[in-house]
């Protein structure tokens, strides 16, 4: 049997606790990541919702930006929710000119996209890879994906209302991002989708190591 995946939660700022509580319910070990050494010890990472401008500044200050970029380039599975989606985006709109991101997702993300007047908004969103009822999505000063590159799989869009058709869930390789906060609703299905990706990568790597050992 394969070992339990260790999933880090980037704990610089934001709704860290909710992710730490959700992940063990899916059979993953959840640990806090604040330092590069801690990042090096995880099989995957969740970047929570919060305030992306603050999170980005803290990531730079804690010396995490470059290690995070290197980990993403190396194929580390990362799930970003809300501010986490912003952190994973290659390009931002409505962001301060000096706001940096980890990047890796070939998307243009608009911050606070649902309108400054509407602080939060809820909707039912069908997510590809999530079976059963649509996900009850809670958006809090949320971004959306304004444009997605060719290699990006759109997992979900808003249906109806002024944001009709807007992209709010995407996947590219081992990176997953949602505009909304599944960790706040008790619905674990988006996290389950992510933990599946993490398990698959662990199994692949274990296979690769076993293969190398046989070669020797
Ligand atoms: N508006 C926030 C930002 O730009 C994101 C909000 C959230 O994560 N709930 O970082």
Tens digits of residue pLDDT in 118-160:
678 899 999 999 999 999 999 999 999 999 999 999 999 999 8
- Average pLDDT score over the chain: 94
User: Would you tell me which CATH number, out of the four given (3.30.2310.20, 3.40.50.1820, 3.40.50.880, 3.30.1300.10), belongs to the domain 6-215?
Assistant: 3.40.50.880
181 is catalytic: yes
CA of residue 39 to ligand 1 center, whole Å: 23
The gap between the terminal CA atoms of the chain, to the nearest Å, is 24
Nearest-Å Rg of the Cα atoms of the chain is 17
3-state helix, strand, coil in the chain (%, to 5): 35, 30, 40
82 is catalytic: yes
Percent of the chain with pLDDT over 70: 96
Say if CB 94 and CB 52 are below 8 A apart: no
Give the integer Cα–Cα distance in Å for 198 and 185: 22
Examine the pLDDT at 117 and tell me if it is beyond 60: no
Helix (H, G, I), strand (E, B) or coil at 209: helix
Say if CB 5 and CB 46 are below 8 A apart: no
51 lines ligand 1 (CB under 6 A): yes
Say if CB 29 and CB 7 are below 8 A apart: yes
Give the integer Cα–Cα distance in Å for 49 and 26: 20
Tens digits of residue pLDDT in 7-32:
999 999 999 999 999 999 999 999 99
141 lines ligand 1 (CB under 6 A): yes
25 is catalytic: no
Give the integer Cα–Cα distance in Å for 154 and 23: 24
* Domain range list for the chain: 6-215
Tens digits of residue pLDDT in 26-84:
999 999 999 999 999 999 999 999 999 999 999 999 999 999 999 999 999 999 999 99
The reported pLDDT for the residue numbered 61 is: 97
Provide φ and ψ at 178, rounded to 5°.
-130, 145
Q: Which atom of ligand 1 is nearest to the CA of 82?
A: 8
50 lines ligand 1 (CB under 6 A): yes
Percent of the chain with pLDDT over 90: 86
């Amino acid at each position: 049997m394969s070992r339990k995946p260790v999933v880090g939660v980037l704990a610089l700022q934001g709704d860290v606790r909710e992710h730490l509580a959700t992940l063990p319910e899916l059979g993953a070990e959840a640990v806090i990541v604040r330092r590069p050494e801690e990042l090096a010890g995880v099989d995957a990472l969740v970047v929570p919702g919060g305030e992306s401008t603050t999170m980005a500044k803290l990531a730079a200050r804690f010396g995490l930006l470059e290690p995070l970029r290197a980990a993403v380039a190396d194929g580390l599975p990362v799930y970003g929710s809300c501010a986490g989606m912003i952190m994973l985006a290659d390009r931002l709109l409505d962001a301060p000119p000096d706001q940096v991101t980890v990047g890796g997702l070939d998307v243009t993300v608009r911050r606070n996209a649902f309108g400054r007047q509407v602080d939060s908004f809820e909707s039912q969103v069908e997510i590809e890879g999530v079976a059963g009822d649509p996900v009850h999505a809670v958006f809090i000063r949320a971004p959306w994906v304004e444009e997605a590159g060719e290699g990006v799989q759109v997992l979900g869009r808003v249906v109806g209302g002024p944001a009709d058709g807007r992209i709010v869930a995407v996947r590219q390789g081992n990176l997953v991002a949602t505009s909304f906060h599944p960790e706040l609703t008790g619905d674990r299905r988006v996290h389950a989708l992510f933990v599946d990706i993490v398990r698959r990568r662990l199994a692949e790597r274990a296979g690769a190591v076993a293969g190398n050992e046989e070669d020797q």
